[in-house]
Amino acid sequence: MKNMLEHANLVVAAWDGELMVGIAHALTDAACVGYLGDLAVRTSPQRRGIGNELIRQTRASISPVAMLVLLAAPKAVEYYPKIGFTRHGSAWTLNVIKPLPDAD
């Protein structure tokens, strides 16, 4: 959570008193797209709508016409469709340790 706070340009957090129970961090131009880098909720308060509210507040912080994009953690793949996300067929990833091929 420390790195999320230090390196995102949009952070939304959920607190229970002084304990952070959830966080959403994103990189966004606030106009066209927001990349939701992580959504994390502590195990004990899960299933109480905290993740959904963090996403709602993240969306409210960017343009109402901007697309919110994310890569789901393996354990969360089934969660996002339940709250309205749809799978996108043209997303691509590149592992940082994989070398790029020589240019054509």
Question: What pLDDT digit, counting tens, does each position of 45-61 carry?
Answer: 788 889 999 999 998 88
Rounded distance between C-alpha atoms, residue 6 and residue 25, angstroms: 10
User: CA 96 to CA 25: how far, in whole Å?
Assistant: 20
Average the pLDDT over 2-20 and give the result. 79
pLDDT of residue 23: 92
pLDDT, average across residues 25-54:
86
Residue-range domain boundaries for the chain: 2-82
Above 80 in pLDDT, residue 4? Answer: no
Q: Which CATH superfamily is domain 2-82 in?
A: Gcn5-related N-acetyltransferase (GNAT) (3.40.630.30)
Element (H, E) at 69: strand 67-70
pLDDT at 17 over 70: yes
* pLDDT band, very low/low/confident/very high, at 18 (cuts 50, 70, 90): very high
